[in-house]
Homo-oligomer: A and B are copies of this chain.
Amino acid sequence: MPVSHAPISAFEVPDEAELPEDIRERILAVQDKAGFVPNVFWVLAHRPAEFRAFFAYHDALMEKDSGLTKGEREMIVVATSGINHCLYCVVAHGAILRIREGNPLIADQLAVDYRHADISARQRAMLDFAVQVATASHTVGEAERETLRAHGFSDEDIWDIGAVAAFFALSNRMAHVTAMRPNDAFHLMGRQPGEG
């Protein structure tokens, strides 16, 4: 008996025709740019108001200028999503991370064991803080902020690290609540050196 692919969501997924216009446009724009529509767009479109807030929050953190590079922000996503066993976020953001960093190995390293990844000491401190926010946020305090400052992070950077970890705490949980399945295409993207 062949094992069949799971559907992309445990909930109903809207047809393109049913989508509110702004959501349809966002999805078409993504398709134009990436060549396919990441499943998170279809799955969350089940709830348009939440969809809009989710992507507004995502873009506010991940697309803006920051003391963290876009690649570093993806490192936080992949490392904390690995700790949280979130397949969607590890696979989709792992692909983005490989491409942003031009590094075919980094996503596997961060998802499985960020302590043994090819990253700088500063990035390791960034991930230690992010993982602490992901797993025991009540224990972070001034001592942790001082450690980050000693690695050259500004207070705005500290907010960014914490906020990305916090946002993907939400994102990981929505992926699990909906049994969100990553697109097959993500698994292979960025795995050739220099790809991206």
B138 touches A85 (CB 8 A): yes
Sort chain A's interface into a size bin.
35 or more
Chain B residues whose CB sits within 8 angstroms of the CB of A174 once the complex forms: 162-163, 166
Chain B residues whose CB sits within 8 angstroms of the CB of A12 once the complex forms: 155
CB distance from A94 to the nearest CB of B (A): 8
Beta-carbon contacts of A169-196 to B below 8 Å, as 1s and 0s?
Answer: 1101110111101001001100110000
Beta-carbon contacts of A6-27 to B below 8 Å, as 1s and 0s?
Answer: 1000111000000000000000
Interface of A is mostly: helix
Interface status of A33 (Cβ within 8 A of chain B)? no
Chain B residues whose CB sits within 8 angstroms of the CB of A118 once the complex forms: 3-6
Give 5 pairs: A residue, B residue, CB < 8 Å, sorted on A.
Answer: A47-B60, A53-B54, A85-B138, A115-B141, A165-B173
Taking beta carbons and an 8 Å cutoff, which residues of A are in contact with B?
Answer: 1, 3-6, 10-12, 46-47, 49-50, 52-54, 56-57, 59-61, 64, 82, 84-87, 90-91, 104-105, 108-109, 111-113, 115-116, 118-120, 123, 133-134, 137-142, 145, 155, 158-159, 162-163, 165-167, 169-170, 172-174, 176-179, 181, 184, 187-188, 191-192
